[in-house]
Amino acid sequence: MLYSRIAGTGSYLPEQILTNADLARRVDTSDEWIVSRTGIHSRHIAAPDEMTSDLACKASLAALESAGVAASEIDLIVVATSTPDMIFPSAACILQDKLGVHGFPAFDVQAVCAGFAYALATADQFVRGGMAKTALVVGAEVFSRILDWNDRRTCVLFGDGAGAVVLKASDEPGIIMTKLKADGRYRDILATPGGVANGEVVGTPFLHMDGQAVFRFAVKALAELASETLDAAGMTAADLDWLVPHQANVRIIESTAKHLHLSMDKVILTLAHHGNTSAASIPLALDEAARAGKFKRGEHLMLEGIGGGFAWGSALLRW
Ligand code: ACO
């Protein structure tokens, strides 16, 4: 049987750091409010000339180096993003060009904060089906560009960044199980509803959110998904060594950990200094923990993400 396995990880965070104190000078908020409600202390903001594909490229080069894989060996690129450089071409095609390679499939997936779970599951299916042997899977975002910086309810939550993994075909897992879900009935509780028509922006191009509805939905959906994923793999929470969750809110993460009876020192937390980087948050957390030497070969990791759509997804893997 053919599986896919993560052979290397990489990430990139823009240079500029925006602290809660910086935000408190712009809007009516405080470090105390932001930290107690979300766990976020600071986030990175891309420079005006830095595009999603630039962030993706830096994360990808780091992932390729850690995997010991040359760009010329890649035969699939999947980029998860809701903030691509432009309407088209895709960030994945632009990334392909920036990496100096061509001739194989490259495309974006758009599942907001669940984007990396969707991209990883897609690439895993390509590898299992024999359509790719060495896939580059990236989550990259510049959410700072779709925020209303006068709206304290949302501007304190997000940051920019990118994370990437190299997935290689393998005789053994690797990725054991992925699960993807969506429920479009909840599309209005978290959205950036603007579009472009006739040379103009139609609707609002800023992110808006019903924070409490999102919170309630996320807590329930992530707990159910974690259990379903483990059940489908014939495993229990006791088999898990690490949870690498989407980094939106420490209270949502604590609730998932509690459901899994996992102590918080087995949960990778990066949101304090990344904020919510949407599709980039899981691969950023994965790379930071991998580089810190946290994961040992053979350990079991659960990745989980949820966001606008609503869309959510998981991956269970052996490191
Ligand atoms: N600073 C100070 N006060 C604020 C701020 C802020 N940044 N934002 C909101 N408030 C105020 C509100 O105006 C409100 O004041 P009022 O009572 O005078 O009207 C008060 O704080 C309480 O507002 P709530 O929205 O009820 O605050 P809540 O405790 O729900 O916390 C939060 C808000 C942090 C957004 C929470 O609902 C949450 O974490 N929701 C999940 C959202 C999330 O994680 N989104 C990320 C994207 S989705 C995803 O990735 C899963």
Tens of pLDDT, residue by residue over 289-303, are 999 999 999 999 999
Task: Name the residue of 20, 23, 153 to mutate for ligand 1: max ligand atoms within 8 A of Cβ.
Answer: 153
pLDDT band (50, 70, 90) for residue 156: very high
Q: Which residue has the tokens 């950036």?
A: 192
Beta strands in the chain (DSSP E): 3-12, 16-19, 42-45, 76-80, 106-109, 134-142, 160-170, 175-182, 190-191, 195-197, 200-202, 208-209, 242-245, 300-307, 311-318
CA distances from 218 to 20, 113, 157, 285 (A): 24, 11, 15, 19
CA distances from 226 to 89, 148, 245 (A): 35, 33, 11
Beta strand 311-318 pairing with 300-307: antiparallel
pTM for the structure as a whole: 0.97
Give the tens place of pLDDT for each residue, 213-269: 999 999 999 999 999 999 999 999 999 999 999 999 999 999 999 999 999 999 999
Ligand 1 proximity of 214 Cβ (cutoff 6 Å): yes
Ligand 1: centre distance to CA 146 (Å): 18
93: annotated active-site residue: no
Report pLDDT for 161.
98
198: annotated active-site residue: no
Report pLDDT for 151.
96
**Candidates 57, 155, 276, 300; catalytic one:** 276
Percent of the chain with pLDDT over 90: 99
Report pLDDT for 61.
98
CA distances from 224 to 60, 230, 239 (A): 32, 10, 17
pLDDT band (50, 70, 90) for residue 1: confident
Ligand 1 proximity of 249 Cβ (cutoff 6 Å): yes
Report pLDDT for 29.
98
Closest-lying ligand 1 atom to the alpha carbon of residue 157: 46
Ligand 1: centre distance to CA 279 (Å): 21
Collapse the DSSP code of 50 into the 3-class scheme (helix H, G, I; strand E, B; otherwise coil) and give the result. Answer: coil
Task: Name the residue of 118, 187, 215 to mutate for ligand 1: max ligand atoms within 8 A of Cβ.
Answer: 215
249: annotated active-site residue: no
Ligand 1 proximity of 113 Cβ (cutoff 6 Å): yes
Average pLDDT, the chain: 97
Residue type, 157: L
Report pLDDT for 197.
96
Q: Which residue is closest in CA terms to ligand 1's atom 12?
A: 153
